């Protein structure tokens, strides 16, 4: 029978995609006698289990996750398993969207902090967590979670509209998200521009929007990704340079 390894009370794992910030956090916490360990940020395409495992192996009692909290953010899925492992999760993010904060808290994060907060504030919160103290007012936590619940309800209808798209329409929408024009999509897929325009019209109708920009915006809000098929290819325009 396997058991979850016990955590070390003064050990803090740090996952931050920006090296300068991550190293600054590691150094600052070390000065306060924390055993701070900066870990690789991992791949955006990694599974929650693959992202979680290195953190759990450190036996840290606290983890600071620097993340965007976007709808498609893979780190969102790590919060619940890290919490179940007995690790206090502190989210450090650049977003100020309260509903996104609520999503993280709903999954078990102890607190969400904007990256604009002074470093001393973050250190103070880590010290309070290490002492077993509360770091977020109960009413504030409940309100942020309530905003996340309301956002989820609003997105439910949008999600249903995206499910109406056929596989081909999903592929065309992804091309549009990647910056391809109607003529480029037609050339890429060996069809006429008229055919692509018909498919774009069907996409807009099913999503109940009036422009390609609105369709792309809706996909971003939902964190939508097209269904992946074995022969799927990512046709992005080459970067300028």
Q: Are residues 116 and 192 in the same domain?
A: no
pLDDT of residue 229: 58
Q: Cα separations (Å) of 224 from 177, 201, 202, 236? A: 11, 19, 18, 17
Q: Are residues 59 and 176 in the same domain?
A: no
Q: Cα separations (Å) of 79 from 60, 63, 85, 91, 227? A: 14, 10, 10, 9, 25
pLDDT, tens only, 186-195:
999 999 999 9
Letter string b/e over residues 16-43, b meaning 16 or more CB atoms within 10 A of that residue's CB = beeeebbeebbebbeeeebbbbbbebbe
Euclidean distance between CA atoms 202 and 168, whole angstroms:
11
Task: Give the number of domains in the chain.
Answer: 2
Which stretches in the chain have pLDDT values below 70?
1-6, 228-241
Q: Are residues 100 and 210 in the same domain?
A: no
pTM above 0.85, yes or no: no
Number of H helices, E strands in the chain: 10, 5
Domain that holds residue 205: 164-222
Which CATH number characterizes residue 185's domain?
1.10.10.10
Q: Are residues 174 and 142 in the same domain?
A: no
pLDDT, tens only, 154-195:
888 898 999 999 999 999 999 999 999 999 999 999 999 999
Q: Is residue 123 part of a domain?
A: yes
Q: Are residues 139 and 169 in the same domain?
A: no
pLDDT of residue 3: 43
pLDDT of residue 6: 60
């Amino acid at each position: 029978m396997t058991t979850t390894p016990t955590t070390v009370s003064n050990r803090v794992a740090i996952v931050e995609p920006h090296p300068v910030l991550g190293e600054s956090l590691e150094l600052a916490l070390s000065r306060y006698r924390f055993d701070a360990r900066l870990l690789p940020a991992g791949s955006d395409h990694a599974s929650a289990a693959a992202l979680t495992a290195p953190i759990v192996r450190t036996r840290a009692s606290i983890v600071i996750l620097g993340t965007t909290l976007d709808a498609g953010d893979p780190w969102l899925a790590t919060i619940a398993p890290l919490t179940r492992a007995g690790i206090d999760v502190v989210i450090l993010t650049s977003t100020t969207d309260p509903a996104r904060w609520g999503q993280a808290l709903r999954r078990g994060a102890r607190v969400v902090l904007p990256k604009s907060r002074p470093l001393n504030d973050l250190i103070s919160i880590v010290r309070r967590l290490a002492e077993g103290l509360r770091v977020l007012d109960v009413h504030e936590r409940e309100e942020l979670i309530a905003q996340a619940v309301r956002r989820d309800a609003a997105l439910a209808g949008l999600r249903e509209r995206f499910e109406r798209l056929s596989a081909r329409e999903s592929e065309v929408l992804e091309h549009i998200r990647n910056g391809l024009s109607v003529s480029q999509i037609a050339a890429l897929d060996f069809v006429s521009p008229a055919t692509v325009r018909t498919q774009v019209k069907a996409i807009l109708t099913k999503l109940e929007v009036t422009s390609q920009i609105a369709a792309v915006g809706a996909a971003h809000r939902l964190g939508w990704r097209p269904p992946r098929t074995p022969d799927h290819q990512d046709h992005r325009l080459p970067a300028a340079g």
